[in-house]
Structure 1
Amino acid sequence: MRRPTPTPRQVDAGIALAGLLGGLLLIAFQVYDHSSAIPRWQVLPALLAMAALELVRRTRPILVAVLGGLVFAGSIFSGALLATTMMYTDLLYAAVVYGPRRMSPVLHASGTASVLVLTTLTLVYDDPATAVTVAVITVLIFLGPLWTADIVRKHRQEAETQRLRAEQTALLSEMDRREAVVAERARMARELHDVVANHLSAIAIHATGAQSVARRQHRAADDPVLEVLGVIRENSVQGLAEMRRIVGLLRDSGGGEADESYAAPDLSAVDALLAKARAAGQDVGLGFELTERGERGELPVPVQLAAYRIVQESLTNALKHAGPGEVRVLLDFRPEELRIAVDSPYRQGAGQALPGARAGLVGMAERASLLGGGFEAGPRDGHWSVRAVLPRAMSTEEGTERA
C-alpha cells in the first residue's frame, strides 16, 4: 500500500514541532549558554517565536528571514540554544528556496557582513584562536544555509526546465502523429475516390447501358437479365453514394483524434456523450438531460456527424462556462429537418477573455451552413441557448439526396 505524501503545510508543521520539542528537551537539561546564570524561562520565548516562524517559512519567506534574524539576535543575549539556532538556519534556507530571486544576494551580503563584524570584534577583544572559531561558526550559521539553498534552487530550476522540455517534445510528437494521421486519411480518401469510386461508377454506367440495350431488344419486364442488371445498377449506385460519404468523413475528421471520429460519428453515440458530461459535471454542480421527439428514421451520415459534433461542442462549452444547474439537450426529429436545442445555465461574461473564445460557435455554425441549415447561439432568459436546424435533404452538385 502506497503511503500518503505529506503536504507542504504538514512538513512545515513537522519541522516546527521537532524544533520545539528538541528545544524543550535541551532547556529541561539546561543545555544552553550561561545556563548557570540565565533562568530557563528566559530561553523559552525565542524558541517559541522561532517555532512559530517555521509554520510560515514557505508562504512568508521575506518576513521570516527578517523576524528570524531579530529573534536569533535576541536569543544570543537570552541564552543561545542549539534548537533555536538550527531553526534560524532553516529559515534562511527557506527564504532563498521559496522567496524571490533577490533574497539570495541580499542574505549573502548581510550574512557576510555579520561574519566579518563578529569575527573582527572577537579578534579585537579576544585572542585569534577564538576569532577563528567564531568565524567558522558564523559562516556555518549565516552562509552555509544560503549556499545549500542556492544549489537546491538551481537543481529545481534545471528539473523544471527539463520537464518543460519533455512536455514540448511530447507535444511535438503528438503534433507529428496527428499530421501523419491526417496525411494517411487524405491518402486513403484519394485512393477511394480515384480507384474504387471510379470502378463503381463504371459498373453503374455499364449496367444502365446494358439495361437500355435489353429494352431495345424488347425483352419482357420480368426477364431475369433485366432483373440482374437492375440489381447490379442499384447496388453500384448505392455503393458509390456510401463511398462518397466515407471519403467525406475521412476528409472531415482530419483535425481530431482518430478513435473519437470513428467511435462516435453519429447520433447513436449521444448517450455516451451525456454519460461523460454527467461524470465531469458532478464537481461543478451540473446535471444533463436528453430529450428526443419524433421518429429518428434514416439520416444521411453527414447530417448525423454534424449533429453529433454540435451536441458535443455544446456540452463542452457548458462544462467550461456554465453555472451550476441543469443542461437540457433536445433532439427534435421532424419530417423535413432535425432541430437541436441545448440550454445551459448562463454566467455573465463566461469565457469572453479566454484565448480562442467563440471558435467553437464558429465551427458549429459552419457545419450547419455546409448542410444548408441554420445555427444561432446566445443568452436567452438566463440560459445560454444553442439552436441548430439540419435539413434531412442535403443539396449536392448532382441534385438532392434524401434519407
Structure 2
Amino acid sequence: MTAHDTTTGPPGRLATFFATDDDWEREGSITLGDWLVGATVLVASLVTLELIRGVGTLDSSDAPTWVEWLTVISGAVLLVFRRRFPLTIALLAGLHMFVTGVWLPMVMGLLPMQIIYFVAFFAGAAWARRRRDMVIVMGLITLFMFAWLSWQYAVGSGFDEIRESTEDSEGSSLIGPVTAYILLTTVINLLYFFGAIVGGQVAWRGARQRAELAEQAETIAAQSTQLQRRAVIDERLRIARELHDVVAHHVSVVGVQAAAGRKLLERGRPGDIDGAAEALGNVEASAREGVTQMRSLLGTLRDPAVDSGTEPEGVRRPEPRLADLPALLDGARESGLRVGYEAVGPVEVLPVPVAHSVYRIVQEALANVRRHSTADRVQVVLRIDQAAASAYAEVEITDNGRPRHGTSGSGLGLLGVRERAAARRAEVDIGPRAVQGFRVRVRFPLDAPVASLAGAAR
C-alpha cells in the first residue's frame, strides 16, 4: 500500500463503512407507528417525571412544573418526525439536550429523555438521505456534546460537584474517585453517542441490502417474464416452421401425383387407368399423412400429455427421427424423382434434435425440387465426422436441374432451413452449383448449444 492509498487505511475503511459515496436514498415517511411511538414515549416520560417528583428528587429544581412538562412533550414530539427529517431531528435533539442539560439537568437525566435523545441520534444515522451529510452532522453533534462535557469539567462546577459527592468515598488505590468518575462518564457518553451512530449505520446498511435484494427480485421477475415471452415466440416459430414443412411437402406430393393422374386420364389408354388410380391413391395417402401430422402438431398445443410422452398409441408425433428418412425418400421416388442416399460415418450417434432438423431440411429441399426445379435426380448425403477438430454432422442435398419458370415461391422454406441452422449454430450453404443444379448444405456442430429461435430469426 502506498502512502497515498486511502482506500484501505482507517479513513478509507470508515468511508466504506459509512458509505459516503453511495447515492441510494432511504425514503422515510410519517406513519401511524411514529405517532404511537411518540405517544408511548410521552406517557412514559411524564409518568417517570412525576414519580421522581414524588420522591423529592426534583426539589432542587426551581423551574415551574409546566416548563418541565413542556420540555418532556417537545422531546417526545421529535420522535414522530425522526424518519421524515432525520438530520434535522438529530440537530434539534442535540439542541434540546444541551438546553435541558443547562437549565433542567434533572429532567435531562430521566431515562425516558435519554431514550428520546438516543433514538433521535440513531434515526439520524439510519434514515439520513445522504451519507456524507450524515457523517458531518452526527460528527458535529458528537464533538459539541464532548466539548460541552469537557467545558463542564474544566470551567464549570463539575469538579466541585464531583468532589462533594465523592468526599466520603475511599476510592481505589490506583484511581482516585474524581478520575474514576470522569473516566466512567466519558466511557458512558462514548458508548451512548457512538452506539447510536454505529447502530444507525448498521440499520441503514441492512435497509440498503434489503432494497438491493428487492431490486434483484424485480429484475429476476422481469427476466423471467422476458424468458417466458421469448419461449412463447420460439414455440410459435417452431410451430410455424413445422406447419410449413408438413404442408409444403405433402401439398407438393399431392400436386405432382394429381398432375400425373390427370395426364394419364387425358391420354385415355387402357393401361393408363391403373396408373391414374395409383397416382390418385398416392394423392389420398399423402393428403391423409399431411392431415395426420398437422393434427398431431396442433395436438401438442392442446394436450400437455403429448409433451410428457404419454400420448395415445397410434398418434404420430410431429417430430420425425432419422429412421423416418428412408420413408421420406421413398415418397419422393414415387413422385418420379431418382433419389440417392448415402450415409457416411456413425449416423446412429446423431442426437435426436439434430436428426429432426436433418429430416426437415431434406424434406424442404425435396419439396423445393418438385415445385421449382426441372431436376429428375437428387442426391442426399449425410456425413458424421467425430474425428475432426470440431465434431460435426453435415447434410447435403444436390440436384441436376434448373429453375422452373413461373414457380417462384415465398422463400419461407429456405428461411426455415436457415432458422433451423441458426438455432443450432450450424453453417449454411444454399445456392446454385457451379456446374448444374442446386445445393442445400448444412453443417451442425455436435457440441454447440441451442440458440434462441427468436434471436436466430432476427
Higher relative contact order, structure no. (Cα contacts within 8 Å, ≥ 6 residues apart):
2
What TM-score do you get using the length of structure 2 for normalisation?
A: 0.44
What TM-score do you get using the length of structure 1 for normalisation?
A: 0.49
